[in-house]
Structure 1
Amino acid sequence: MVDISNLLKLMVKKDISDIHFKAESYPALRLHGSMIMANSLPKLSAEDVKTIAYQIMNEQQAKEFERELELDMAYSLDGISRFRVNIFRQKRTIGLSLRVVPMKLHTFEELNLPVESLKKLGAESRGLILFAGITGAGKTTTMNSFLHYLNSAHSFRIVTVEDPIEFYHTDVKSTIVQREVGHDTKSFPMALKHILRQDPDVVVIGEMRDLEAMQAGIMAAETGHLVLSTIHTMDTVQTFDRLVDSHPAHQHVQVRQQLANCLKGIVGQRLVSSKDGKSRFPASEILMNNSLIRAQLLDGKLGEVYKVLEKGAYYGMRTFDQDLLRLYQEGKIDSKAAIDNSTTPQDLALRIQGLSTGTAV
């Protein structure tokens, strides 16, 4: 039987980001983006995995899991770390996945994030700011670093709705209220319905998972609040597509108009393995809403947005490919990692080839 506490401590010490348990298998670990089987440990039986799951659930969580067959939760190992946990059923047995959530809130500099662009967005007092990326891209960590910056730089009243709460914030210059679905409120829709009555300057929606969350976020931004959220998309252009296409077709023009007026920025993120394979660096795509972006949105020419990003360095904008090229030029990542994470791999490969041969592309 695996000692879950010792294994989680080792996970944090070795910089392992995720661990997965299922019956009749070794624990699976994700290290710097790669999956590794912990075959030095015994295979886990169905009963072993069940025991681990019930060790970390409280009574209320166990009842919810037994009712819904799915559970999202947070788990704390005192003084070590917090973990985001998903418990589920598979092949009539229990499985679970845990992700490390650092105890410390990091600064932009510590996370190798685009400092000037984020500080520029941090000067906004109203509107919608989204943090986009696939699972494991670090978008929640980046959003919480941004929230910590707001908390430290401004005197705001901040209200969050999260499922679950991953990072705990304490008041600095701002006062911050964090509400967790299932513990502090019955549901996202219920919390979002009442959130504007709580006198917030800043509203944080943990994730824009569905139409209701999107509509609530846009409405809050339109009524003079600063709204932060994460969204599960590949890049900034796909973020626009997701926000618009999630609405009924007859509302698409209206949604584009709303976004043109209330959107302040989108921060896209991908985590890229370092040259030595011992860490990962964030590659960022930054969109700042301006008259050019607004015009493309209103005209429905979302494909043209990428061209605006490429030429928008003055406004703090950049594409993923531009940032990947920067990381390559600085020697932080190799050419394969850059091309593998590129939006337009062939174009980036030509640009890298041009650098190595001294030929401009």
Structure 2
Amino acid sequence: MNCITDVKDKITKLIIKAYQNKASDLFIRENMYPYIRNNLGKIEMLEDDFIKDSQMISFLKKAEQLSDFLSSLDFVITDSDFFVSVANINCRCHFYKTIKGRAIAIRLLPDKIPSLNKLGLPESVKLLADKKSGLIIVSGPTGSGKSTTIASIIDVINQKYNYHIITIEDPIEYTFENKKSIISQIPLGKNITNFSESIKSAMRENPNVIMIGELRTLEDIKIALFAAESGHLVITTLHANNAIDALDRMINYEEKLNLKNLLANTFQAIITQKLVTTKEHKVLCLEILLRNNATVSCIKNEDYTSLINIMKSTPGMMTMQDHFNMLKEQGIISKEINL
């Protein structure tokens, strides 16, 4: 973990101010005002003071993980992900370039890993921490809390079982303390530059659980499925809006038949989540697909209509729309809000 302790640094001050304002994100662009995404998901200006080029460079240089990429003040690299802790505030950062100059998108992470109860996840999701092998996928759009859900599941496993857990992330977001388990957290970097290589390496390190930050490529998917088939519990994220989209993302390749059978034989759950903004807060809306004989058969036969009906009618499972309607009936989401 890279720690920045100089609280006099301009961008460090902005991170602290964003945290005090309960923002989820801070947007820094040189020669422009800093903005935050507030606790209701709205973009608003944090200060009416331009970010200077020198302030941007100073912060990036303090983030030691970037030092290997800095050959000059012009920055040869065009984008990079990195993790820093600023005044005990954990931040996931993405450095990139725009037509107007350098920019950093900074995600402010919670102080502690929230419990599954606090996240509002049902019992059927909590029980996934007891699975010994197979594939658990948490999907959803960017900013829907996928990493937090996975971290919470890992934390439950860490408290209950004497396991070796390996996490492969780009970048590392939550840092874990060994409880009953030992946890090895591996960032992608100079030595291993992609998830598929990291998964292959992790399988030689005798883990019980492999957490993969994201499945990005066909090779990642194939190696993750192989790891799950080999008796490991594999937990990962995917960008998909619902369970059916997630299935398509996993198998819609030339090797479809083999991938489909591997997925059907190994999957334990596909959880899709979306954050719905109300006037007062954000509400987690879920779709949950779990493994049973019927869902395995539907995946093998690509019978997605029946799969949706099973999710709608089976305890522990739900469609996104049904959960959204339930939250409306409970008065948690007002009737004028649409999914």
TM superposition score normalised by structure 2: 0.90
Q: Amino acid of the residue matched to residue 183 of structure 2? A: I
For the 8 Å contact 1:132–1:268, the answer to whether it is kept is yes
For the 8 Å contact 2:139–2:238, the answer to whether it is kept is yes
Residue 254 (structure 1) aligns with: 258
Residue 13 (structure 2) aligns with: 6
Q: Amino acid of the residue matched to residue 304 of structure 1? A: S
Q: Does 1:216 align with 2:218?
A: no
Q: Does 1:299 align with 2:321?
A: no
Counterpart-to-counterpart distance in 1, 2:46 and 2:202: 48
For the 8 Å contact 1:179–1:185, the answer to whether it is kept is no
Residue 350 (structure 1) aligns with: none
Q: Does 1:140 align with 2:147?
A: yes
> Of the candidates 81, 91, 101, which is equivalent to residue 93 of structure 1?
101
Moved more, 204-213 or 17-26: 17-26
For the 8 Å contact 1:132–1:139, the answer to whether it is kept is yes
Moved more, 188-197 or 58-67: 58-67
Residue 103 (structure 1) aligns with: 111
Q: Does 1:332 align with 2:336?
A: no
Give 1:25 shift: 2.8
For the 8 Å contact 2:222–2:259, the answer to whether it is kept is no
For the 8 Å contact 1:53–1:96, the answer to whether it is kept is no
Give 1:230 shift: 0.7
Q: Give CA deviations for 1:286-343 in whole Å, capped at 9, x if unaligned.
A: 1101122111111122343222111112xx1011112112222222221233x2x2xx
Residue 4 (structure 2) aligns with: none
Q: Amino acid of the residue matched to residue 257 of structure 1? A: N
**Runs of 5+ unmatched residues, structure 1:** 342-361
Give 1:181 shift: 0.9
Moved more, 287-296 or 46-55: 46-55
Counterpart-to-counterpart distance in 2, 1:242 and 1:63: 38
Q: Does 1:22 align with 2:29?
A: yes
Q: Does 1:267 align with 2:267?
A: no
For the 8 Å contact 2:298–2:307, the answer to whether it is kept is yes
**Runs of 5+ unmatched residues, structure 2:** 1-7
Give 1:103 shift: 2.6
Q: Does 1:229 align with 2:231?
A: no
TM superposition score normalised by structure 1: 0.85
Residue 31 (structure 1) aligns with: 38
**Cα 1:50–1:194, aligned 2, differ >3 Å: closer, same or farther?**
same
Q: Give the SS at the match of 2:116.
A: coil
Please identify which structure carries the higher helix content.
1
**Cα 1:20–1:233, aligned 2, differ >3 Å: closer, same or farther?**
same
Aligned-residue identity in percent: 25
For the 8 Å contact 1:50–1:94, the answer to whether it is kept is no
| Count, aligned residues | 330
Q: Give the SS at the match of 2:289.
A: strand
Counterpart-to-counterpart distance in 2, 1:192 and 1:295: 28
